[in-house]
C-alpha cells in the first residue's frame, strides 16, 4: 500500500534543494500585474464578478485569455444540458490549448489523465535547475513529473529513487520556491510490480495537487502546500477513470452507477452525482 512516511518543511529524502530561475508568464500580462486578479479567483473561484473584472482588464490589453474567462462566467448562467452551454464548453476546450496549465487550473478547466509528458518535465527541470535523471549514492533518481507555477515561480517535482535492481523504489514529492520555502513528503510503494504512475500534477496558487496510480492500479491523490502538511487520499481501488472540470474531480469507480466527486484542490468529498447529472456538469470521465 501507499503511505505518507514523512512530510514537513525542509525534509529532503536523500535529495537536494531545488534551485530556481525566474519563469516568464507564457502569453498575456506579467505575473506582477495579474496577481491580484488571480488571487481573487483563488479565494473565491465562483465569484462571477471577479471573473468579469479580470476579463475587462485582459481585454484592455488585447489578451486572448479574456474570451475564456467570459465564457467561464457565462456557463454559470446557462441551464445544464442546454445546447448553448455545450457550445460554450466546446469553445473553452478549444481555447484552453493556447494557455498555460497553471493559469487554467486557477480559473478552471477540463483535465483528464495524461501519460508522462517528457517535454514538459524537461522544460520544468530546466527552469528549476534540475537534471531529469541523475545518480546519487548509487541510486538512480528520475524526475517522473514536474510543474512550475507561473504565479509564484514555485516548483513541484515527483522523483523516483531506485536501487540498481529496482527492488527498492521510493517516491518523493517536493515543493520549493525562490524565497527558500520547502515542503516534501515521501510516498512508498511496497510492491515493485505496481510503480507510481503520475497522471496529473498542477499548481493551485500555493498548493500543488498530484493524482497518481499506485498498487494494483488504484487511484490516489496528494495535496501539498508550503505549510508542510500533506493530505493523502485513496480515491479508488483498481482502475477508475477520472476527470477534472473546473474545481471538481469526478471519478467513476468500478461497478458504480454514480460519479464520486471531490473538490479541487482541497480533496473534500462532495455529494455524488448520477451519470445523467455528471454528463450535464461535464464530470463524466472518459471511458
Is residue 17 scored above 80 in pLDDT?
A: no
Is residue 15 scored above 70 in pLDDT?
A: no
Contacts 24+ apart (CB under 8 A), 217-223: 219/251, 220/2, 221/249, 221/267, 222/4, 222/173, 222/185, 222/187, 223/265, 223/266, 223/267
| Predicted local confidence at residue 6, as pLDDT | 38
Q: Which helix (H) or strand (E) holds 68?
A: helix 65-75
What's the mean pLDDT when you consider all of the chain?
A: 83
Contacts 24+ apart (CB under 8 A), 256-260: 259/283, 259/284, 259/285, 260/235, 260/236
| Mean pLDDT along residues 197-217 | 90
Looking at per-residue confidence, does 4 or 94 come out higher? 94
Rounded CA-CA distance 20/66 in Å is 30
Confidence of residue 29 (pLDDT cuts 50, 70, 90): very low
Looking at per-residue confidence, does 126 or 104 come out higher? 104
Strands ordered across the beta sheet of 269-274: 109-111, 242-246, 248-251, 258-263, 269-274
| Predicted local confidence at residue 47, as pLDDT | 93
Nearest Cα neighbor of 210 from 143, 218, 164, 220 is 220
DSSP class of residue 217?
Answer: G
Is residue 4 scored above 50 in pLDDT?
A: no
Is residue 30 scored above 60 in pLDDT?
A: no
| Predicted local confidence at residue 26, as pLDDT | 40
The ranges assigned to domains in the chain are 2-23+112-281, 31-99
Indicate the pTM of the whole model: 0.84
**Backbone Cα Rg of the chain:** 19
| Mean pLDDT along residues 111-127 | 81
Is residue 10 scored above 70 in pLDDT?
A: no
| Predicted local confidence at residue 187, as pLDDT | 83
Question: Percent of the chain, pLDDT > 90?
Answer: 44
| Predicted local confidence at residue 275, as pLDDT | 92
DSSP string, 74-87: HHTTSPTT-HHHHH
Which grid cell is 209? 495537487
Is residue 22 scored above 60 in pLDDT?
A: no
Question: Percent of the chain, pLDDT > 70?
Answer: 85
Amino acid at each position: 500500500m501507499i503511505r505518507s512516511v514523512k512530510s514537513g518543511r525542509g525534509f529532503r529524502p536523500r535529495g537536494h534543494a531545488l534551485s530556481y530561475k525566474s519563469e516568464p508568464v507564457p502569453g498575456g500580462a506579467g505575473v506582477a500585474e495579474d496577481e491580484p486578479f488571480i488571487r481573487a479567483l483563488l479565494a473565491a473561484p465562483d465569484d462571477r464578478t471577479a471573473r468579469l473584472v479580470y476579463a475587462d482588464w485582459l481585454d484592455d490589453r488585447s489578451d486572448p485569455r479574456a474570451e475564456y474567462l467570459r465564457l467561464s462566467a457565462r456557463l454559470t448562467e446557462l441551464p445544464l444540458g442546454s445546447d448553448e452551454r455545450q457550445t460554450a464548453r466546446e469553445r473553452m476546450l478549444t481555447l484552453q490549448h493556447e494557455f498555460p496549465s497553471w493559469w487554467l487550473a486557477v480559473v478552471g478547466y477540463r483535465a483528464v489523465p495524461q501519460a508522462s509528458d517528457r517535454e514538459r518535465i524537461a522544460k520544468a527541470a530546466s527552469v528549476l535547475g534540475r537534471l531529469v535523471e541523475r545518480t546519487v549514492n548509487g541510486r538512480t533518481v528520475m524526475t517522473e513529473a514536474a510543474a512550475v507555477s507561473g504565479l509564484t515561480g514555485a516548483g513541484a517535482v515527483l522523483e523516483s529513487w531506485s536501487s540498481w535492481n529496482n527492488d527498492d523504489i521510493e517516491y518523493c514529492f517536493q515543493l520549493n520556491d525562490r524565497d527558500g520555502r520547502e515542503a516534501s513528503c515521501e510516498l512508498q510503494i511496497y510492491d515493485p510490480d505496481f510503480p507510481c504512475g503520475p497522471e496529473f500534477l498542477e499548481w493551485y496558487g500555493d498548493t500543488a495537487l498530484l493524482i497518481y496510480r499506485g498498487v494494483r492500479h488504484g487511484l490516489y491523490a496528494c495535496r501539498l502546500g508550503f505549510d508542510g502538511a500533506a493530505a493523502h487520499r485513496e480515491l479508488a481501488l483498481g482502475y477508475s477513470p477520472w476527470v477534472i472540470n473546473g474545481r471538481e474531480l469526478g471519478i467513476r469507480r468500478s461497478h458504480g452507477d454514480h460519479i464520486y466527486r471531490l473538490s479541487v484542490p482541497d480533496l473534500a468529498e462532495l455529494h455524488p452525482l448520477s451519470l445523467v447529472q455528471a454528463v450535464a456538469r461535464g464530470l463524466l470521465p472518459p471511458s
